[in-house]
Every structure is written in C-alpha cells, then in structure tokens.
C-alpha cells in the first residue's frame, strides 16, 4: 500500500487524465470539422464540382453542431454540479462518463447527412465538462497550494483538445490508406471513435473504486492507503464525514472567521462562507460579484475565439497557417496553468484576476482598433497575441474555480460552480453581434469595446477582491510579505507573546 502523500498525487494524476479524456473535447472542434468536411458530412447542398470552394450551407450546419456542444459545456455543468452535491462524486463522474460514451457512439455511427444525430452527439460530448467540476475538490488535499492544484485541473480541461486532434489524425490516416473515399472516412470515423468510446467506458468503471461516495477526496486517499473494506472501516468513514459536517455547521455563525479561527481539515484557513447553506452562499455578495465578473469576462473571450480567424485573414493569412498557430498555442499553454493557481496562493486572487484582464486588453490592442487609431501588430507578430490571450484565458477560468473553493469551501462546490457557469452561458450569444459587426468592417470598434470591458472590471478585482483578501481573509502570501496584516491578527499574536512571557 502507498502512503497518504503519494496517494494524493496519484489522485491528482488520475483527475488530470480523466479531465483530459472527456472534459474539454468540444473545443477540439477544428480537428473534427476537418475530417467531417473531407468525408462530405452535411454536403448535400454543396456543388460537387467545387470542392475547393467554401460551401455556405455545410459551414452553417457544422457551426450548429459546434454551438450545441459549446452551450452544453457551460450550461449543463449546473446539472452535474447539483448531481455531484446530492448524490456524490462517484455517481456523478460515472454518469457523466457514460453519457459522453453515448455521445461518442452517436458521432461514430451517424449517417453523413444526419444533422440531428451529430447535434445530439456533440451536445452529449459537452456534458463531459462535468468531470472537471467533480475533480476540482481534489485540490483540498494540497493545503495552502490548493489554488495551484485547482488551476492545474483547469489546464487539463484545455489539454482535452488533443483528444479530437489525435482522433482526427487517426481517421485521416486510416481513410487515406483505404483510398480516401467518403465511405473510407465513414468507416474510419466509426472505428477510431469506437476505440475512444471503449477507453471512456473502461475509465468510467475505474471511477467506481477511485472516486469518493461524497464530495471529499480524503475518502479516496483512505482507500489507496489501505483503509477500506469491512463494516468497521465503513463506519469510520461515515463518522469522519459526520464530523466534517458538524464542523461546517459549527462554523456557520460568524460571517468572517477571526484571525485565530481553527483551520479546516485540509490544513488551510476556513473559507469565509464555509458552513452556510447552498442558498445562503448563492445569495451572498461574494458569489454574485464573482459570477458577474466571470460572465462579463466570457464575452470578450468568446468574441476573440470567434473572430480571430476572420481578423487574421484580413491581415493576409490566406492559407490559414497563422490561424492554425493559434490552435497550437491553445494546447501548449496548458503547461502554464499551475502558475495561475500558484499566483492565487502566493500573490492573491484579486491581483491575479487583474493580471488576466490586462492580458486580455493587451490582446485586443495587438489585434488593433483600426481606423485612425492603433492598427495593431503585423500578421507575423500575432504569435505574441496568441500567447498573451491564452495566458489570460487560463488565468480567468482558473481564478473562477479557485475563487469558488477559496470563498465557499467544497461542501456545495458543484452547485455554486455550476450556477456561475450556467449564468456565463448567457453571455455567449452576445459575442455573435459583435462578430457580425466586425465582418461588416468594424472589428476595430469591437476590439476596443472588448478592451474597455476588461479595464472596466478592475474596480471589482482591485477594489473588492484584492482589498478583501488583505483586510478580511488574512491572505498568506503577497500582502503578508509586505507587512499588511489585520488588526485582530496582530492583537492575537501580541496576546500569545504576552502569555508565553508570563509562563
């Protein structure tokens, strides 16, 4: 059997793999789209003699497939969050994985001209994002570095784009070796996606052993170190969980824990709203402001992703080489995700959020405001833009998930995180008119509006989140290093010193 320290790292590695396997695969759409076009999926209304010419009807229908999956990723995590909180992590993860498996099967066997089956399949694929939400509470095991662990799991969500990329490469390789006909692509699609489906089902079964029954991964740690089996150990687990619940209830009265408040079981200071009911947490000003910040930030995020290809083509990227570079940076940027969480742990959430918004604003400046204003960087220099945007994107998403844990704990984590994600899904359609305005020649205005949105949110990240960490939460890192401490904390330390001297 392994020790507890090794067990928590094994669980983190397992969570990263499971998240990568299914959680963010919807965003690998460009890879799927390429093989669908090569196969002739939804091409009934296209001119067979104009294979190199864009087919508007096919493009619109393929776009609808992606829209179904993208909406599902954000909105359905509210449902998976509620399931996680009500029925436990094990039930939720297994259910989500099996749902994704059904979606993969639909994508594998759908007739080339069946829009409805492709849409349903991709919608079910988006539900896989619920796995990432369930895995976030693994970060509780890492004490003061909870933020770094949480952000690493968010990075695995981004890395999921490599799964469609690998599937697409395999489909193309098999189909070309068999002649490259439409039927060859259809057969290859069925074979490769079936192999992916089997992998998902196998790991869904593994979740029956490694995922906790509730929301606490300490149960999984106990399993890995050998404390399992028998009524005695089951009763011990139940007693420990009941003790945790009692601690939460006992911690309910004070809205803000005092500086000398007892630490939570994971070794860190208790979250300000920990111990309250889900309804109280949802209605708290902290959650309302956090969810509003995340929702507003998704507007420039989605607008950038939708419009960047068109803007690069306007700069002269006719062969799409620079646009493909954006997809490459999207995946490679995953390695930076732990830094986002570490920044939250050491520097603070407020300042890290502000940095993320600064990266976003800089990205839109690099694209340019057009007209008589700043024209942006040259096409070849847009690689710097890709890095800047993807760093900001990772920081934004990581800070949302980290903030939910930091402010509210993990007892109702699924409900709170899911509620914010559902709310954020409402901002996605607003990026469409911004994109259409850009296509009509007003990309500069839309870019400027996006940059101003980011700058306009600084009163929240600096005036509320950062200052709150210093004055109310007793932030461990950056503020303390600069000698900024709460008055109550200083008084408590003085009392302890006086008591020691008296003895």
The single residue listed with the structure tokens 């094990």 is 90
Q: Quick one: pLDDT at residue 255?
A: 42
**pLDDT tens figures, 436-459:** 787 777 888 889 999 999 999 999
C-alpha separations of 29 from 26, 121, 308 in Å: 6, 13, 15
Q: What pLDDT does residue 262 have?
A: 41
- Its sign, for the CA torsion 147, 162, 333, 422, is negative
C-beta neighbour count of 433 within 10 angstroms: 11
CA torsion sign for 298, 302, 303, 304 is: positive
- Domains defined along the chain, listed by start: 1-42+57-227 (1.20.1250.20), 278-494 (1.20.1250.20)
Give pLDDT, residue 1. Answer: 55
d(CA 129, CA 151): 15
Cα–Cα distance measured from residue 405 to residue 274, given in angstroms and rounded to the nearest whole number? 9
pTM for the structure as a whole? 0.69
> In the prediction, which pLDDT does 50 show?
46
The pLDDT value recorded for residue 246 is 44
Q: Could you tell me which of 260, 267, 258 has the C-alpha nearest to residue 496?
A: 260
Residue 457: per-residue pLDDT: 93
Residue ranges, the chain, pLDDT below 50: 50-52, 229-239, 241-267, 372, 475-488
**Segment (H or E) for 307:** helix 285-314
Residues in the chain: 503
Q: Residue 54: what pLDDT?
A: 57
Question: What's the pLDDT score for residue 479?
Answer: 42
Query: What pLDDT score does 456 carry?
Result: 92
């Amino acid at each position: 059997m392994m020790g507890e320290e090794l067990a928590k790292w094994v669980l983190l590695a397992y969570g990263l793999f499971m998240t990568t396997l299914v959680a963010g695969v919807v965003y690998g759409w460009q890879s799927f789209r390429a093989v669908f076009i090569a196969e002739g999926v939804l091409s009934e209304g296209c001119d067979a003699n104009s294979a190199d010419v864009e087919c508007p009807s096919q493009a619109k229908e393929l776009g609808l497939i992606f829209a179904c999956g993208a909406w599902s990723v954000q909105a359905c995590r509210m449902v998976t969050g509620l399931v996680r909180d009500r029925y436990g992590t094990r039930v939720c993860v297994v259910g989500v994985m099996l749902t994704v498996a059904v979606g993969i099967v639909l994508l594998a066997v759908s007739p080339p001209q069946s829009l409805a089956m492709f849409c349903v399949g991709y919608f079910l694929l988006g539900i896989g994002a619920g796995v990432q939400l369930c895995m976030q509470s693994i970060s509780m095991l890492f004490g003061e570095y909870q933020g770094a662990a949480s952000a690493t799991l968010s990075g695995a969500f981004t890395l999921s784009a490599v799964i469609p990329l690998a599937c697409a490469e395999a489909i193309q390789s098999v189909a070309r070796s068999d002649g490259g006909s439409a039927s060859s692509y259809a057969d290859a699609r069925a074979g490769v996606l079936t192999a992916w489906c089997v992998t998902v089902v196998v790991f869904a079964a593994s979740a029956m052993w490694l995922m906790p029954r509730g929301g606490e991964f300490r149960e999984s740690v106990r399993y890995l170190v050998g404390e399992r089996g028998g009524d005695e150990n089951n009763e011990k687990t139940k007693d420990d969980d009941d003790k945790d619940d009692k601690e939460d209830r006992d911690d309910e009265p004070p809205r803000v824990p005092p500086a000398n408040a007892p630490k939570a079981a994971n070794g860190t200071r208790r979250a300000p709203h920990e111990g309250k009911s889900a309804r109280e947490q949802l209605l708290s000003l902290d959650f309302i402001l956090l969810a509003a910040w995340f929702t507003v930030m998704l507007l420039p995020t989605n607008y950038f992703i939708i419009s960047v290809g068109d803007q690069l083509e306007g700069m002269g990227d006719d062969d799409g080489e620079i646009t493909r570079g954006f997809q490459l940076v999207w995946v490679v940027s995953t390695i930076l995700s732990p830094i986002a969480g570490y920044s939250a742990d050491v520097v603070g959430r407020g300042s890290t959020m502000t940095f993320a918004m600064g990266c976003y604003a800089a990205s839109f400046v690099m694209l340019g405001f057009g007209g008589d204003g700043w024209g942006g960087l040259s096409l070849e220099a847009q690689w710097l833009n890709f890095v800047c945007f993807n760093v900001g994107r990772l920081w934004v998403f990581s800070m949302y998930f980290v903030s939910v844990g930091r402010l509210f704990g993990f007892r109702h984590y699924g409900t709170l995180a899911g509620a914010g994600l559902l709310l954020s899904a409402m901002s996605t359609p607003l990026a469409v008119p911004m994109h259409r305005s850009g296509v009509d020649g007003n990309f500069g205005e839309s870019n400027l509006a996006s940059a101003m949105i980011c700058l306009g949110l600084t009163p929240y990240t600096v005036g509320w989140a950062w200052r709150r960490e210093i004055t109310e939460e007793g932030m461990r890192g950056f503020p303390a290093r600069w000698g900024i401490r709460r008055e109550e904390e200083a008084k408590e330390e003085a009392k302890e010193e006086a008591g020691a001297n008296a003895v």
